[in-house]
């Protein structure tokens, strides 16, 4: 299917369906200048993300882990939602039953105006206490003190899902239900390699949904989706609403 024809087809699908779900990954935020986890910009000092984003690393050296998150927060603070983020916020206003699921932790969907994104991997602007149930949002950059402390006197940790940790059960259940009930499922800027998120478009397809991929390059599910749109999401998504 030619690109113009494909975009027109997907535009019609968005207008014709009441239940739409969307999964976004690092690609949409990379267009805003957020470094990808594993890209060349992902290096910090001599550490790999996989060596810092773990409960073991935090237990061993919480100050080091917090320094890294403070650095990441400072980068994200300089970025803005791009036209792809804004188009999804607009889509939410237009579609009767819309669910946005994201693997990103940068909060750019919130800034763009998306009401209730399901954050599979947490939020870099949220912290939670290592002892009590306290959870808070803190957008201070840089953080002071570092590490940040809870009112109860215990240390706070980033409210991020680290390697070796389970995804938040409630959020995952909501994402699964949205995939199962969707009539149209868009998967945007994700490699479709990280499970369980990578399973969501296939769950939607098995349940009868049309699946549309928007990505810069082919992925593991390109051959299985109904329509694959290759290019920047910041250019393609606004066209789907035109």
Q: Show me where the domains of the chain are located.
A: 3-33+80-121+166-241, 35-78+124-160
Q: Which residue has the tokens 């550490």?
A: 47
Name the residue among 237, 209, 234 with its Cα closest to residue 224: 209
Angstrom distance (rounded) from CA 200 to CA 193 = 11
The predicted pLDDT at position 47 comes to 79
The token duo for 181 is: 């009930």
pTM of the model: 0.94
pLDDT digits (tens, 9 = 90+) for 37-90: 555 555 566 778 888 999 999 999 999 999 999 999 999 999 999 999 999 999
The CATH superfamily assigned to 3-33+80-121+166-241 is: TPP-binding domain (3.40.50.1220)
In this predicted structure, the answer to whether residue 23 has a pLDDT above a threshold of 70 is: yes
The catalytic site residues sit at 121
User: Would you say the CATH fold of 35-78+124-160 matches that of 3-33+80-121+166-241?
Assistant: no
Assign domain 35-78+124-160 one CATH number from 3.40.50.1970, 1.10.3720.10, 3.30.465.10, 3.30.1600.10.
3.30.1600.10
């Amino acid at each position: 299917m030619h690109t113009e024809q494909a975009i027109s087809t997907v535009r019609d699908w968005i207008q014709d369906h009441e239940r739409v779900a969307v999964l976004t990954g690092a690609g949409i935020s990379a267009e805003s200048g957020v470094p990808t986890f594993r890209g060349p910009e992902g290096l910090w000092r001599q550490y790999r993300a996989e060596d810092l984003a773990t409960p073991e690393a935090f237990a061993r050296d919480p100050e080091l882990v917090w320094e890294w998150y403070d650095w990441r927060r400072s980068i994200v603070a300089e970025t803005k939602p791009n036209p792809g983020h804004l188009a999804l916020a607009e889509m939410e206003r237009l579609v009767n039953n819309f669910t946005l699921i994201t693997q990103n932790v940068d909060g750019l969907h919130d800034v763009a105006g998306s009401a209730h994104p399901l954050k599979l991997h947490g939020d870099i602007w949220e912290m939670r206490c290592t002892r009590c149930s306290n959870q808070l949002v803190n957008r201070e950059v840089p953080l002071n003190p570092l590490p940040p402390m809870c009112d109860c006197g215990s240390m706070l940790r980033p409210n991020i899902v680290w390697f070796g940790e389970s995804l938040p059960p409630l959020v995952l259940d909501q994402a699964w239900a949205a995939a199962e009930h969707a009539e149209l499922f868009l998967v945007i800027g994700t490699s479709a390699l990280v499970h369980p998120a990578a399973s969501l478009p296939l769950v939607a397809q098995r349940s009868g949904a049309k699946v549309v991929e928007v990505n810069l390059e082919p992925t593991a599910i390109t051959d299985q989706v109904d329509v694959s749109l290759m290019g920047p999401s910041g250019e393609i998504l606004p066209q789907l609403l035109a």
